[in-house]
A and B are shown apart, each in its own frame.
Chain A
Amino acid sequence: MEKEFIRETNHSVSLNITAGKVDSFRETEKTTGTVRVYENGFIGVAGCLGEPDWDELTKRAVEALEFKIPYPCALEGALDERITLDDEIIPIPEFIHTIQRFLDRLGELCPRFAFSNKINLVSRKTEYRNSHGRHLVSSGSTLEIGLLAQNRGSGNLFDAFFVWDGNEYDEEKLLSYFKEQYDAFFVPAEIESGRYPVLFMPGYIMPRLFTQFMDDMYASGVSLVSGKFGEKLFSDKLTFGDDMNPASHPAACFFDAEGCVSENYRPLLIENGVLKGILTTKKTAENYGLPNFGNADAAYDGTPGIGFHNFYLDPTAKSLAELLPEKAIFAAIPDGGDMTPAGHYATPVQLAYLMENGRIIGRLPDLNVSGEFFDILGKDYIGTVKDDPMKGVILCAFEMNVKVME
């Protein structure tokens, strides 16, 4: 009988901010344990909250084999690899004081905005072992800033987001980064409807597009890329996948729920425009005759399913100025859009900025942007920049149809 053992611990300290003041402190620590066993083509899973009793969990996982859930046993081989990025970012006893000082300074620099929501210190550790001698440990910490900004008097739920995450707290750089956006917010800008380069954070546009790379959709013929594995379908410049690399995301786990470790910790869906990967688990990879993608997720008591962690795109330029030297649009908040089965993608943009020479210079009215799936990732893909204007920020640009809303 083959076995897997997984222990995961999440520790977070979360501050709530209301009207620029810290008004609550929340500390959470959660440990989960998982045992999976494989026998005769079936899987049994048992999980627990709290410190795992491995013998008890194994016994329950063996009992769960009775459900007869088919799952191929294809455990990864022996490997001992550990990545720990546990440097302290802000000492917890100083956390409230440090963040309140940051908020006070932010409030002075951005007096017309009222700030609220959360700032978190998060640490995660995941340990994986299997009966083939594989032992993987991944741990890391990150500071997550997620501030809603209300323009005082606007009457809106919020008018802007100030978000950033990383494992270095540089107060001056963060204030400068947010101040640039604040200043531009109050400078009205105009644009005519037409076609423009539009810049996005990948987490806004990619979720609607990457569903086309899901195993079941691909295999059942419903995906726009069904049957095209290995073909050159997209821009030469586009390399796109799941970023599980702790160098980019300090709290990321470099291995997936099935103990798979990818090259550079970044399994790729598209490489230089070629369809190179489809999101699978080991089970669906075997069922559909596809290479296993290697980014599966699983609940602590569930069978593995397809996952996605962080969007990765190969940088194609060193700076925003190099990527977008002329007029462009930064879609800071493009929320609610979707794609039709035929691949027409459209979304309103509730907060858009005009950019020139890589810098935001003013706020545009509400827009709608649209494009076709193969064009967006093909001829209309302009490129990607990382760490500009701030370390940890990744931005990607596409030529799109832009309609100014009246």
Chain B
Amino acid sequence: MIRFKSGFYADIRTEDRFRTVITYKAGELEELKVRTEKQAFLRVYDGKMWYYASVTDLEHLQATLDGLYAAATENPAIMDDPVVKRFENNRDRLMSFEGCSVRDVPVKDKQALLLSYLPIFAEENCVTMAEGHYLDRNSVFTFVSSLGADIAYDYQTCGLAFNFNMAEGEKKFNGSFQNGFVRFDEMKGLAAVLRATVSEQAAFLRESVPAEAGTFPVVLSPEAAGVFAHESFGHKSESDFMLSDESMKAEWEIGKTVGSPILSIVDTGEVSGSGFVPYDDEGTKARKNYLIKNGVLAGRLHNALSAASLDEGLTGNARAVNCDFEPIVRMTTTYIEGGELDFDELIAPIKKGYFIKTINHGSGMSTFTIAPHIAYEIVDGKLGRPVQISVITGSVFETLGLIDALTKEVQLLSFVTGGCGKMEQYPLPVGFGGPFVRVSSMTVQ
């Protein structure tokens, strides 16, 4: 039982993280490990400074906490501190994966599942080497605070990722496929999808041509649209970026028009997948947050410090990559809401443009970038040849205003490798997605 001292705010977050990594390359086992790590992150706040410690020794948390208290300065008025007054005081036990935990699946079954898909790559002559990964993670979190919060919840992801090198004559291409799930059984029955992916990427190798550089209409798939929303606007919604510059609050005034009237962007930790965050790392319960609603700035993402600084409410977005780090403002699952059209209607008006189907990576500053993996020409309203594009870019605000059509259905996606990076904290699992999105003009290189 932890003893908290008066005159300070304190909280302790623990994580019991289970992971499986299985890798095969060229048919040979490369890696098989099952890892369990238990860590804790402790915070003490005295109204002026935060003091943090990260430990693997969970038997002596009280001693570590007492060490932080000794470094801090007692503050009898700490309960009146605007940051402390913001914290929620939840008591809950939310175990969503106890009946289907990947901890309970024998490693041999995981190995067999991965192995069952590898022969698909040998069906294409141009595949010169294939690598397959099975990855899973099950975490059990606890959070207690000096305010009386006491929460326990779990988190789970699992998935398969394949990289396959392809070469034919002088032509070369790095193929890839990955998909994230939350239950082991969801990964069965993927052979048809995988076969179609390999076939498409083989066609890309053989038939793709360099894209014409310039400014064109671009259609983004749900994967590309989700990354676009994440990079172009999601990071701008992380309010800790506003704390150093007072003028940003005026620049980012709620109610300001920032995009097309058909555009709404949401962030929520309530959705199952890699961005599932039922309670954030400050014990705040998840909720649906509109960042943009019908083109108008509707909200921002917060931790307690940014919420207090900007006099706004908590949003459930205080997250840390692991217990080595303190929670900072991060996204959870960020997506664009759907519109009215179907895909054929969306591309019909485009005389010359591009369809970005899958991506390598993206980034966002005043200019955002998306590096496409698989892309196609759009000519006279129809999909055409596969094309090679290094990067598409755009000014964030200008591009948000150039979104002129959306399809109805929204797809939400999870990746099982990689994640979001923000300064020292990488990779953070996040979810993303959207409908198919048409942007009337983007720079293609």
Contact = CB atoms under 8 A, between A and B. Distances in A.
A224 to B, nearest CB: 7
Chain B interface residue bracket vs A = 35 or more
A360 B226 CA distance: 38
Contact of B360 (A68, A116, A338): A338
B31 interface: yes
A222 to B, nearest CB: 4
A356 B236 CA distance: 34
Given A18-B244, A27-B52, A368-B393, A223 B172 contact: yes
Interface stretch (B22-30, B135-143, B310-318, B342-350): B22-30
A370 B369 contact: no
Contact of B241 (A157, A339, A350, A405): A157
Given A118-B423, A341-B174, A302 B31 contact: yes
A153 interface: yes
Given A45-B33, A222-B174, A223-B172, A28 B53 contact: yes
A201 to B, nearest CB: 16
Contact of B29 (A28, A68, A299, A344): A68
Contacts of A69: 29-32
Contacts of A336: 361-363, 367-371, 391, 393
A405 B32 CA distance: 48
A156 B129 contact: no
A350 to B, nearest CB: 5
A307 interface: no
Interface string B404-426: 00000000000000000001100
A182 to B, nearest CB: 15
Interface stretch (A135-143, A212-220, A391-399): A212-220
B379 to A, nearest CB: 20
Residue among B51, B245, B363, B370 having the largest count of chain A Cβ atoms under 10 Å: B245
Interface in A78-100: none
Contacts of A303: 30-31
A50 interface: yes
A274 interface: no
A337 B390 contact: yes
A405 B56 CA distance: 50
B326 interface: yes
Given A30-B56, A157-B235, A220 B51 contact: no
Interface string A54-72: 0000000000000111100
Given A25-B49, A335-B365, A350-B367, A67 B210 contact: no
A310 interface: no
Interface in B202-255: 205, 210, 235-236, 240-241, 243-248, 251-252
B52 A25 contact: yes
Interface in B350-368: 360-368
Contact of A338 (B29, B31, B35, B361): B361
A336 B54 CA distance: 32
A20 interface: yes
A117 interface: yes
B52 A67 contact: no
B129 A153 contact: no
5 contacts: A24-B50, A68-B29, A153-B247, A302-B31, A337-B391
Interface of B: 21, 25, 28-33, 35, 37, 39, 48-54, 56-57, 71, 128-129, 131, 165-167, 171-174, 205, 210, 235-236, 240-241, 243-248, 251-252, 324-326, 360-371, 388-391, 393, 423-424, 443, 445
The 8 A-B residue pairs with the shortest CB-CB distance in the complex, in nearest-first order: A336-B369, A155-B251, A338-B371, A220-B128, A24-B50, A220-B129, A336-B363, A114-B244
